[in-house]
Every structure is written in C-alpha cells, then in structure tokens.
Amino acid sequence: MAAQVVIAELGFAACVDTIVGKAFVRSVSSDERKWVSIRHEMLVNSSLIILNEPTSGLYSTAVVRLVATLLALARKGRTVVLSVHHPSSRVYCMFDSVLLLAEGSCLYYSAGCDAMDYFMFCGRDARLLCAWQIKVEPSRGSRHGA
C-alpha cells in the first residue's frame, strides 16, 4: 500500500517493474538511480530526509523536478535537508530556507529568494561573496590546497 502511494506521488507507475541493475547490468539511468534512493527513503516514511548533493549530475529539468518533489514532501510535514553546490537561480529560489556557511560560521539563514537582497543590504555583492567562498574553500582542510 505505501509503495503504491509513493509510486503515485512520484509519477513512476510506467516503470514500476524496471530492474535497477548492477555494475554490469544496464537498466535505469543515473537520474532514475537517484530517484530510487529517494523513493526508498519515502517508503521508510522517515520524518527526516537528509540528501547529500542529490542534484549532482542531473539535467536542469530533472533537478527542478527533484526539488519540487522534495518541497512537496516538506509541505506534507517531513523535514528535508540537502546540500546543493551551484544550484540554478530557479532552484535556489525554490528553497524555503537556505543556510550559507563560511569557515563554520553562518553567513545567511532565511528564504533562498531573499539572499541577494540581504547581501546587497549588508553592502556586499552576493556574486563576489560566492566567488570568494569558492576561491578560499579548497585551501581549507584540502589535501590539494596551497
């Protein structure tokens, strides 16, 4: 019963009998493989879903669909936490809450769509701030940094 609800929520009725496969057995795409892991979390029905870079390697359309699905889960009472590197502005504005960290300190915690206005209010160009974070981040704790 729970599986049927999840299948309906994600719109995957057409591929319900598809084999996920193994290393040498071709079956689902990398996009679909990510969906399988998210579906698994939905079947477990946990109140907290934590995803580490679930959008990496996905096409922009798949990213929007994934974030919209996660947003729908959050609206139904689940807590969804995810890390995303370099989201598009469209996806960024979909986030209810965004936590931006730099060197372990909170730079910003509020709605995604309000971040640019906040940093401009603070006298910072958010584009330059992001470029600065990207530039210094690899040298902190990285084996490949300077």
Q: For the chain, 146 residues long, give each residue's pLDDT as a single digit of tens.
A: 677 777 777 667 777 777 777 667 667 776 777 777 777 777 777 888 888 888 888 888 888 988 898 888 888 888 989 888 888 888 888 888 888 887 888 888 888 888 878 877 877 655 555 544 433 333 344 343 43
Q: Please state, in angstroms and rounded to a whole number, the distance separating the CA atoms of residues 100 and 105.
A: 8
Instruction: Choose among 99, 9, 10, 115: nearest CA to 62.
Output: 10
Instruction: Choose among 29, 38, 28: nearest CA to 68.
Output: 38
pTM, rounded to two decimals: 0.66
